[in-house]
Amino acid sequence: MKTRIKELRSEKNLTQESLAKHLGINQAMVSKLENESTTPDAMLLIRLSHFFHVSTDYILYLSEQRLSADSLLADNLHLLKKYQHLISLYQRMTPKQQGACYTFVRSILDGGETSEPQVS
C-alpha cells in the first residue's frame, strides 16, 4: 500500500533512524513502510498521524486534505481558548497598561518600530 511517510519525513528533514526513534520502532521498519514492502498497522498509523499532524487518510493517499475536519475543529478550539485567556488578561489591565501592551505588540509586528496606540 502506497503511503506518504517518506514525503512527510523528508518535509521535517528527519532520517529514517530519527523517525523510528520518535515512533518507537526500528529503522528497518521505517524503510519497509517507505518502500511499500509492508503496511502500517492501525496503531502505528495513528502514531504517524499524530506525529506529522495529518489525517490517516492523508498518509494513505485516501485524501488530499492534510487534516480532518475534527482535527481542524480541535485546533481552532484550542486557539479560541488561548485568545479568550489573552483577552481576559487585557481587560484586567488599566488603560495605561493596555496602551503599553498595544505599543509592545505593534513593535514586535513592525520589526521593532514603535508607534502610538490607536485609541478607540
Q: What confidence score (pLDDT) does residue 76 get?
A: 74
Q: pLDDT tens across 101-111, in order?
A: 999 999 999 88
Fold of 5-59: 434 Repressor (Amino-terminal Domain) (1.10.260)
The residue among 24 and 74 whose pLDDT is bigger is 24
Q: In whole numbers, what is the pLDDT of the chain averaged over residues? A: 87
Cα–Cα dist 14/20, whole Å: 10
3-state secondary structure of 120: coil
What Å distances lie between residue 76 and 62, 70, 72, 73, 80, CA to CA?
24, 10, 6, 5, 6
Q: pLDDT tens across 33-43, in order?
A: 999 899 899 99
